[in-house]
Structure 1
Amino acid sequence: MKKDTRWEGVYSFEDSPFLIETLSELREQNTDNIAFRKGLVRLGRYMGYELTKTMDFDELEIETPLETTIGLAGKDRKNILIISVLRVAIPLMEGLIKTLESARVGIVSASRGPAPDFDIKMDYIKVPKLKEEDTLIICDPMIATGSTLISVMKELESCGMPKRIIIVGVIGAPEGIEAIKKEYPNVEIYITQMDRELNKKGYILPGLGDAGDRAFGEPVKVSLLPQMHNLE
């Protein structure tokens, strides 16, 4: 885990050859949908392992078949709420849950409009109530302008105040990290690798393309039937 000295509480895993190898496979333009999804799951799982190193554990006395010894029991690990930003964060969330198996899960549907305004549209929010002892993890693979994550965090303010707020991403641009830290200085951010910059359209460079399309296929625009608008 490598601390980014430009901000407080921002870390990358650029010192992990295994994670960078996985990210390199995701960046490759010829990687197909299945391999791309599997790569996101793999990153989520191992980033989850790394996150546990920052969490609190309780010591406990246990009896082996031979003697008494001291072990550990997850304290923070049992109080986690993961928020998945649809749709691309689903595989990343799946990987995190493989490590943080007790986590509760919330879903937020948010999409970013075109440059230069990058307006955020949020269609659906379903989040369990936050507790004071919770670690809130928001997973969104691409931290570009940061506008989506800022909007999500503003919406979550009414759900309660957790012990920690963590953003987990695959890649990030300095512009997006700066925007988030300016708005929420205490939020911790963990990404696999920090990329160079954004282009004028708000895409991360060198990036890995549209992660949602690469994971699930390019969507076809359809009109919903009137009775499908209010599902809840």
Structure 2
Amino acid sequence: MLHLLSDTPSVANQYVAQLRDVNVQADSMRFRRNMERLGECIGYELSKELNYVEYSIETPLGQAPTELPAEELVLATILRAGLPLHQGLLNVFDDAGNAFVSAYRKHHKDGTFEIEVEYLSCPDLENKVLIVCDPMLATGASMVLATQALLAYGKPSAIHFVVAIGARLGLEHLQRNFPDAHIWLAALDEELTAKSYIVPGLGDAGDLSYGAKLQD
């Protein structure tokens, strides 16, 4: 199921606009904070899709009925670009478990590339809600391979994908591979360049968050 935040006007649109804006992107601290705030917005919306159980909370003056989440959550992200978005989700789901995956594009001289997964740290996923986040969903290959690697740690009761900006091609690839998952997008772009970068997109989220890296 697709949940597209841009379909409903909200403050999330402001965060996405600033993430895209070349005049704002120069401030890496502001870029990280906007990505984190976007994660908080999506986390709140995502919380409405979870299962809840009734509780009674003791206050100084009596008992207060409420409903609290019934499931354990695991937040997973793809290093390094996903860290600010991950932190935003963790601000909302502060008792969740955490998983980290390194998945990157290994480029070849002919211009092609393949996705490699090198590092994986993950708790038990059996019957837990898995939330996988990455700021950009271009071809969808990284997200699919990272999630498939995570599933070696157990079968989740549900899977949610959280993305700041996705491309139509990547969205369709993700839907084909995980047809029962919830996909949360702040914005959806239609185009990819020949090198599989999202247009208009926002550039390299990892570099904008943490500085440029040396290329292989």
TM-score (norm 2): 0.92
**Residue in 2 that maps onto 1:56:** 51
CA distance in 2, matches of 1:136, 1:116: 34
**Residue in 2 that maps onto 1:113:** 106
CA contact (8 A) 1:85 1:107 kept: yes
One of 145, 148, 159 as aligned partner of 1:165: 159
Deviation, 1:62, is: 3.5
Deviation, 1:156, is: 1.7
Report sequence identity in percent.
34
Can you list the C-alpha shifts for 1:72-112, whole angstroms capped at 9, x where unaligned?
A: 22213xx1111110001001111101100011111101102
Deviation, 1:56, is: 1.1
Can you list the C-alpha shifts for 1:108-144, whole angstroms capped at 9, x where unaligned?
A: 0110234864300112111111121x11011101000
**Residue in 2 that maps onto 1:138:** 132
CA contact (8 A) 2:125 2:151 kept: no
CA contact (8 A) 2:57 2:64 kept: yes
Q: Which has the higher contact order (CA 8 A, sep 6+)?
A: 2
Q: CA RMSD in A?
A: 1.7
Q: Which amino acid aligns with 1:13?
A: L
Classify the secondary structure of the residue corresponding to 2:35: helix
Q: Which amino acid aligns with 2:31?
A: F
One of 128, 148, 162 as aligned partner of 1:154: 148
One of 158, 172, 175 as aligned partner of 1:181: 175
Structure 2: where are the runs of 5+ without partners?
A: none
**Residue in 1 that maps onto 2:78:** 85
Structure 1: where are the runs of 5+ without partners?
A: 1-8, 223-232
CA distance in 1, matches of 2:106, 2:3: 28
Is residue 67 of structure 2 the alignment partner of residue 72 of structure 1?
yes
CA distance in 2, matches of 1:11, 1:67: 39
Classify the secondary structure of the residue corresponding to 2:147: helix
Classify the secondary structure of the residue corresponding to 2:113: coil
CA distance in 2, matches of 1:110, 1:91: 16
CA distance in 1, matches of 2:18, 2:124: 37
Deviation, 1:157, is: 2.3
Count of aligned pairs between the two proteins: 211
CA distance in 1, matches of 2:188, 2:2: 10
CA contact (8 A) 2:53 2:69 kept: yes
Deviation, 1:147, is: 0.4
CA distance in 2, matches of 1:54, 1:220: 41
**Residue in 2 that maps onto 1:10:** 2
Can you list the C-alpha shifts for 1:150-199, whole angstroms capped at 9, x where unaligned?
A: 11122122111011011101010110011111122112210101112212
One of 34, 38, 52 as aligned partner of 1:39: 34
CA contact (8 A) 1:118 1:147 kept: no
Moved >3 Å (runs of 4+): 62-69, 113-118
Q: Which amino acid aligns with 2:17?
A: S
**Residue in 2 that maps onto 1:101:** 94
Answer 1 or 2: which has greater strand percent: 2
CA distance in 2, matches of 1:117, 1:219: 20
